[in-house]
Structure 1
Amino acid sequence: MEDKKTLVIATGNPNKLKEIQSLLRDFPISVKSKDEAGLKSLEIEETGTTFEENALLKAKGIQAHTGTMVLADDSGITVDALQGAPGVYSARYAGEEGNDQRNNEKLLDALEGLPKEKRGAAFVCVIVLLFPDGKVLKARGVTRGYVGFEKRGQGGFGYDPIFVLPQGKTMGELTGKEKNEISHRGKALRKIKELLKEEF
């Protein structure tokens, strides 16, 4: 069997890393986090105005140090009533990077008083896979639902506890396996996986 190729994932988020490793575990590549690649302190400024721009910025920033294949994603929640906000600013919506509690509270406050039918939202994920020769694979995954009225569920992270799926459960009430099957990141990763098959 061909030696595994190294793929560095441009994230320091352990939850996100676990999701990606789970979905790529059967692939003939050795998946490492940026921390495992010795880049724990590397911070890449996300100055893009779209998920695609930010994902590519992260991939190029990591690859400049590793020279390997790099997989990077940018994702967030887009809310219809807020004209697509928080969008690319989802992780720092309340001002502090990665503070899920405050982000959730701010979003619930922003939609206060709105009925269910006006709380439509989507989780969006764009993944790019950058090869050492500069070739880029891109995939986009979208999961529709609506912003609930309270937090439900202990699973997931980010906005998962307040994002209600069509079947009535929040993303935070799903098992990891259930989430991978329907999540925006799961959908984008499966598309990337299909594209990757043509490369090996």
Structure 2
Amino acid sequence: MAEVEDPHPDGWQAQARQSFLTAMWNMVVDEDAYTDGSPSWIESRSGGHEQGRVPGSASAAALHRILACGVNPDDLTDVVRQMQHDLIYNVCQLIDDPGLLGIGLDEDWSEQTDVRWELVTVRTARPAARAPIDGLHSSLDELDPSGRSGEPRGRPAPHRGEEHDGLVDEGSSRTDQPEGRVATAAVLTKDTEGVAVQLTMVRPGS
């Protein structure tokens, strides 16, 4: 089936962008999910906290050691969630434009690259068409399931010596965006209406 560039892709392109970014957020820990009074992600990764239970992996053992030191599980959730957010944000920047992360801009970079990545939505329902998806990093925080647009919970910091109440500020530095042609592709998401999302490697100017 021949595919053509859609001259008016906005509707299903936005749908595909939202589908991809929602899938990215689904990989981030759910700060509101609890199992037996503990964050669900900790329970699932640590194997539970029953007396005498042997951790099944190095990361599970590390979680047991951290919690044994008296760390608040919710604080651990906040740190992990913010790091996961920063990771998926950087992945979105990498796809939008590697230059946003400084890749390819440093003359001392050991392996200069002449390729970049492009996220493409492919409509398999007739008429078949394809269109690039951009603006991922600038749209990511709009779909934050917490409604905080990527910001941390801002739980009160503990008292240290002097009396003070502060909010934890874990803001991350941001930059902004621009584009390129295809080489390899992988289908990342597909919905029931025949719209798929592909990640493609691009050689600028080809």
TM-score (norm 2): 0.24
Larger RCO: 1 or 2 (CA < 8 Å, sep 6+): 2
Per residue, is there more strand in 1 or in 2?
Answer: 1
Per residue, is there more helix in 1 or in 2?
Answer: 1
TM-score (norm 1): 0.24
Between Structure 1 and Structure 2, whose CA radius of gyration is higher?
Answer: 2
